[in-house]
Structure 1
Amino acid sequence: MQYAIMNKSLLVALGLFGLGGWANAQDIQNKTLDEEALRACLFLEDDQLRLRCFDDATGRSLVVKDGSAPEAAAAIDGGLLLYKRSEDTTLSWLDRRWELAPSAKRGTFSIRPYQPVYLLPVYHNKSPNIRPTSPNPANTVQPGDAPENLDRNELKFQLSLKTKVMENMFGDNGDLWFGYTQSSRWQVMNQDISRPFRETNYEPELIFTWRSSWSEFREATGWEPRLLGLSLNHQSNGRALPLSRSWNRLIGMVGFERENTMVQFRPWLRIAEDAAEDDNPDISDFMGRGDMLLVHKHNGHEYSLLTRHNFRGGDESRGAVQFDWAFPLTSNLRGHLQYFTGYGESLIDYNYKSDYLGVGLSLVGWD
C-alpha cells in the first residue's frame, strides 16, 4: 500500500563531518604529507580554518605540550563541525564513509552524509513523459485524459543523510544505519500549470553493514573488499492514483576500494505485493535488479558512474546509466554536472526511456 506522504518537500539541514585521528611524536616524525589534503586547504577562505587545515595536513596540530592530541575540529553553532579533515591516514575511504574500522567508530545518532546532495537549477529532459502508464489499469493515465503539460526544463535537487542506530552488534563489527534520500523535480519555469513539483521520490531504508577483509583478493587484484551490507529499502512518490508508484526491496551490498577509487555492487530482490494493489508490477524489468557504482576522486574533482540493469538479454535488456562530475568552486561548494540516459530516472518514469542533462551545484559527494 502506498504511504501518505506530504507533497511539499522539506529542506533538511545537513552537517558535514570528517574523522579525527591521534598520533604520538614518533608518528609525527615519520608522517607523510597528504598532497590531496594540502590542496584542499587552498580552497578555505577563512584564515583560521585554513591555518588549522595546513597544521592538520602536516601533523603540526598533533604536537601539544601535555602529550595529548587536540580535537581535529572546533564545534560551533550548536555542535556543527565546519572542518574536520585530519582523519587517521590508516582509515580507508569506505572506513570513513561507513565507520568500519574500530578506530573509525563515532557512536550512534549523529547525522552523516549518505548519497550526494545537490541542486541542479537547469535540468533538461529530452522527451517528457506526458502519459505515465503501468500494467495496472488503475495506475495508467487513460487515452481520454488530458496529457500532462510539461516543460522540458525543470529544477532537480537531492537531499540525503544517514545516522547510525546500533554500533558493534557483534563484538567490534556490525552496525545498523537508517538512511533517507529525497529527490525532487520541480517545474519551476512552467507558469501555465502554476510551477508544480512534477515528481518527488522518498527513499527511507535500514542498512546493516559489516567490515570485511580478504587479503588474498587484495594481493591478487589490488582491490580491497572492505564492505558487506544488507538493507531494507522503501521507495515511493507519495502521489494519488493513477500516478502512484512504489516498491520495496531487499538489497545486498559489496564495496571495494583502491586508493582514490571505490566500486560498489548492489543486487536486489523486490518484495512481492498483492497484484491488485501493485502500482507497478513490472518495475524490476525496467528499473533493474541491481546496480553498480564507480566513484573516483582526483585533485578535488569527483567522478561517479552509476549503472542499473534488469539482468535480461535480447529485446528484454533494459537499464540506465548516470554520470556525475563534481568540481571544486570554493572550500564547501562544488559545481555539478549530471547526465542520465535510460529507464527510470524517477519512479513515475520507471518504464519510460529518456535522456536528461543537468547543471548546478553540490554540497556533498560520495563522502
Structure 2
Amino acid sequence: MKHILVLIFLVLSAIASKIDSKKGIEVESYDITNISDEVSKKSMQRWLNEDFGLMPHKANYLLPMGYRSGGDYKSYVPTDNYKSTESEIQVSLKLYLGTNFLGFDESYYLAYSHLAFWQTYAESSPFRETNYTPEAFVEFPIKNEDSYFNLKSVKAGIAHTSNGQGSNEGVDYIDPSKNPGNRSRNINLLYTELSFQHETLLAELRLSVPLPGTANDDDNPDIMDYLGYTSIKFNYFLGEHMFTLMARGNVVTGYGAVESTYSYPLIDDAYFYTKIFCGYGESLIDYNNNITKFSIGFSFSR
C-alpha cells in the first residue's frame, strides 16, 4: 500500500506542477518591477522564467500498474525475487540547439530518455532495469502537399542506449549462486526517420543501423536480430483521444515487437495512459526475451 501512496503522490505533484506552470510569473513571490538597473532586471526575469528550453521528446509517463503475462521477470540472483507486476517510468526531453546551419531550415536537437522498470510490489521495491538514451539529431522540414500521405520531415540522428551495468567478466564468486551473470547491455545506433501526415493520422518510418565498429559488442552481439533494423509508428488523433501503434522487427530472423498506446486528457497536460507491449526488446536486459505486458497509469506528454 505504501508504494501505491507514493505513486499517487508523484502523480498529484506532477499535475499540480502543470497547473502552476500555466500561471507563469504569477506564482512567484518576487517583485522586480521597481528594480532600476535594466540589465539586472532582465537577468532576474530570465531566472524567474527559466525552463532551460526543454521540450518533451518521447512520451513522459508514470505507469503504477504493469502486468506481464506468462510468469515473473527473471531474477538474476536468488535474493531478487522479481514479480510479474511492476511499475514503469519514462522521462524524455529534448533541447533545441539551433537552425538553418546548412540553409535547409533544418533544426538541431539534443535529447535524453530515461526508462525505469520498478518492482514496486516486490520486497524492498528494487529497480529491476533502467535504460539511458542520450541522442543527437537533425530534422529537415519537407514541403509536400501533393500526396495522400504527405512527407513532412526527414530526421537523421545518433543514439546510445545503455542499462548502466558494469561487466563482471573475470570476477570469481565464492558462492556461484550469487553470480548474476553479465547484465551489461548497450547499443549505438545511427538512424534516419521519415515523417508523414494525412490529416490527423501521422506515420513515422525509421531505419536504424549499428554504429560502425560497435555491432559485435560482446555484451549483446545479436541484439539487432531481436530489435530489427526497421520500424513504423502510427499516431492517430480522434477528438481528444490519441492512439499509437508501433511495429518493428528483423525480416530475416522473424523477431520483433508491437506496441500500442491510448491516452485521454484528464487535466491540462496530464493524461490517462495505457500501453500494451508484445515481443522482444521491452528493455535492454530483456532484448532476447519474448514479453507480453499491459500497463496503465498517467502521461504528462504524448
TM range, normalised to the smaller chain?
0.7 to 0.9
**Structure 1 residue aligned with 2:59:** 116
Report if aligned partners of 1:130, 1:147 keep a CA contact under 8 Å in 2.
no
- 1:204 to 2:204 alignment: no
- 1:319 to 2:245 alignment: no
**Structure 2 residue aligned with 1:288:** 228
**Structure 1 residue aligned with 2:246:** 306
The residue type paired with residue 156 of structure 2 is L
**Structure 2 residue aligned with 1:240:** 166
**Structure 2 residue aligned with 1:251:** 191
Q: Distance in 2 between matches of 1:327 and 1:302?
A: 7
**Structure 2 residue aligned with 1:267:** 207
TM-score, with normalisation over the residues of structure 1? 0.63
Aligned residue pair count: 251
The residue type paired with residue 263 of structure 2 is A
Report if aligned partners of 2:230, 2:248 keep a CA contact under 8 Å in 1.
yes
Note the C-alpha offset of 1:282.
0.3
Change (3 A) 1:343 1:169: same
Report if aligned partners of 2:188, 2:214 keep a CA contact under 8 Å in 1.
no
**Aligned Cα RMSD in Å?**
2.8
**Structure 2 residue aligned with 1:195:** 125
Report if aligned partners of 2:104, 2:140 keep a CA contact under 8 Å in 1.
no
Question: What stretches of structure 1 of length at least 5 have no aligned partner?
Answer: 1-10, 15-43, 50-74, 82-108, 132-140
Q: Distance in 2 between matches of 1:147 and 1:129?
A: 13
Q: Distance in 1 between matches of 2:294 and 2:218?
A: 31
The residue type paired with residue 159 of structure 2 is N
Q: Distance in 1 between matches of 2:216 and 2:207?
A: 26
Superposed counterparts of 1:148-187, under 5 Å: 148-171=80-103, 173-187=105-119
Note the C-alpha offset of 1:165.
1.5
- 1:362 to 2:299 alignment: yes
Report if aligned partners of 2:245, 2:259 keep a CA contact under 8 Å in 1.
yes
Change (3 A) 1:252 1:45: closer
Superposed counterparts of 1:326-341, under 5 Å: 326-341=263-278
The residue type paired with residue 49 of structure 2 is G
Change (3 A) 1:213 1:183: same
Question: What stretches of structure 2 of length at least 5 have no aligned partner?
Answer: 1-9, 24-44, 168-181
Residue deviations 1:95-128 (CA, integer Å, cap 9, x gap):
xxxxxxxxxxxxxx72111110110000112234
Change (3 A) 1:148 1:265: same
Note the C-alpha offset of 1:291.
1.1
The residue type paired with residue 78 of structure 1 is L
Structure 1 stretches of at least 4 aligned residues deviating more than 6 Å after TM superposition: none
**Structure 2 residue aligned with 1:346:** 283
**Structure 2 residue aligned with 1:226:** 152
Larger relative strand fraction: 2
Residue deviations 1:116-175 (CA, integer Å, cap 9, x gap):
0110000112234416xxxxxxxxx6xxx6485211111101001111122111225122
Q: Distance in 2 between matches of 1:151 and 1:211?
A: 45
SS at match of 1:78: helix
Residue deviations 1:311-344 (CA, integer Å, cap 9, x gap):
22xxx20100010001122222211111000001
The residue type paired with residue 274 of structure 2 is L
Superposed counterparts of 1:12-91, under 5 Å: 78-79=48-49
Change (3 A) 1:276 1:264: closer
**Structure 1 residue aligned with 2:74:** 130
SS at match of 2:83: coil
Note the C-alpha offset of 1:275.
7.9
TM-score, with normalisation over the residues of structure 2? 0.76
SS at match of 2:224: helix
Residue deviations 1:165-207 (CA, integer Å, cap 9, x gap):
221112251221111111100011211xx21100011011110
The residue type paired with residue 227 of structure 1 is S
